[in-house]
Amino acid sequence: MTEPIDLARSILERAEDGEAVEVCVGRSVRTEVRVHRGEVESLTLAESHGIGVRVILQGPDGNREGLSHAGSFDADVVDDLLAEARDNALFAEPDPHVALARPDGVPISGIDPWSDEVEKMSVDDKIAIAVAVEAAALAADPRVRGARTSVYGDSRSESAIVSTAGIETTGRSTGASTSTMVLIDDVDGGTRTGSAVDASQSPLDLDPQMVADRAVQRGLQLLDARQPTTGRPSVVFEPRFAATVLGLVAAMLAGDRVVKGRTPFADRVGQQIAATLLTMFDDPTDAASLGASATDGEGLACRRVPLVSNGVLDGFLHDCHTARVSGSASTGSALRSVRGTPSPGFRALHVAAGRGDLASFIADIDDGFLVAGLQGLHSGVNAVSGDLSVGVEGIRIRDGVLAEPIREATLAGAIPRMLFDITRVGDDLERLPGGSHVPSIVIDGLTLGGSGS
């Protein structure tokens, strides 16, 4: 079997003297099992291959970048990739800032986010995990009338990046997850849903019972939900939703948005942009994170990247291109697939622990709202202005206890203002399937919209 690094080297050997060429090769194997009523509904076992070749041609009016890619390791496909990339570069717009990454002296960490169990575990045992999740969910409460979906999935990926600029790196990772979405009869004759997921580098670490219990509890807590009246309660985000909200902020700190002026935080490095309670950073070198990676999408070492410290903006997430445009250095934050060029972003968002947890926050709030679901994030967030208006469901908090469930509501505000209105950051840090490590938070000043005023 051809290894990604060997194939990448063989393509790079064909580069002409003085030519700037980068080769990215990846291979992955994926398993997905979906079950329904104890039977396998679908079973997917898929292996994919990918090769991306970038060529950069220098010219008096700037450099031109050409990309070609293929989804096969077959020799007749591979042989044409370098020539295709050269041809594509001839038609590209010149850009004085496009160039290949060069080693920057930052040492590559020794993390290896890999588990042999993903490959070693039999398909039957993987099916058993999905069946166990569904069975546990159906047995958890008599009001559960079914599961829309119960899934086990895993993947193992290997990659290599080599270039004429001196980059040569390899990487590998595994991941496994199980999830379910239950259907629960509501008092009004409708149906509520509840979902949960667990993920890890190894399938042996998955907890089907926990997934089932969480999914059912999340559905039951919203039975007989009603529209709220409009108001401004203190809004409580448990870790999974805190990660969603703060992930929106981290995305606004990506270098491509900064250089295009499409973020409310451009030109604000060193300024206070949030409450002093907030400190967050990207740390792909955290081996326990599911976003862990030793190298980025250009072959540079991943590193801890400070973003906000005690409310002060530290800087942005850069790949080599956005770093050159802004006159700074790459932060090892390039993301990419073999089918595209690199772009900057976060892998493993971390928020520094504060004080308190979800239960203590609720107990201290007289008028509040516990978020239990967010909808419409893609259409409801303006990344340029930071305006936010999304669908929400959850539970009202009255005099320190959970009260009536809420649905068909909206949550609105402006992210730049919202960051200053963070009043609590917890110490209940939770590692999430997306790679984040985030606690519960409380934000004042957001508007909960409903049926009345």
Comparison of pLDDT for 156 and 17, the residue scoring more: 156
DSSP letters spanning 103-158: --SPPPP------THHHHS-HHHHHHHHHHHHHHHHHH-TTEEEEEEEEEEEEEEE
Question: Of 393, 344, 402, 388, which Cα lies nearest the Cα of 372?
Answer: 393
The total number of structural domains in the chain stands at 2
- Report yes or no: 439 and 430 within 8 Å, Cβ to Cβ: yes
Is pLDDT at 125 greater than 70 in this prediction? yes
pLDDT tens string 310-356: 999 999 999 999 999 999 999 999 999 999 999 999 999 999 999 99
Among 182, 197, 219, which residue terminates a domain? 219
Q: pLDDT confidence of 53, banded at 50, 70, 90?
A: very high
pLDDT tens string 142-181: 999 999 999 999 999 999 999 999 999 999 999 999 999 9
Q: pLDDT confidence of 418, banded at 50, 70, 90?
A: very high
Is pLDDT at 60 greater than 90 in this prediction? no
Among 219, 241, 275, which residue terminates a domain? 219
Is pLDDT at 451 greater than 80 in this prediction? no
In this structure, are 82 and 230 located in the same domain? no
pLDDT tens string 359-408: 999 999 999 999 999 998 888 899 899 999 999 999 999 999 999 999 99
Is pLDDT at 453 greater than 70 in this prediction? no
pLDDT of residue 339: 92
Average pLDDT, the chain: 96
In this structure, are 304 and 437 located in the same domain? yes
In this structure, are 119 and 51 located in the same domain? yes
The one-letter amino acid code at 202 reads S
Q: Structural domain of residue 20, as residue ranges? A: 4-219
Is pLDDT at 452 greater than 70 in this prediction? no
Share of the chain above pLDDT 90, in %: 94
pLDDT of residue 450: 87
pLDDT of residue 190: 87
Is pLDDT at 1 greater than 90 in this prediction? no
At 96, which CATH number? Answer: 3.30.2290.10
- Helix and strand numbers (H, E) in the chain are 11, 21
In this structure, are 372 and 449 located in the same domain? yes
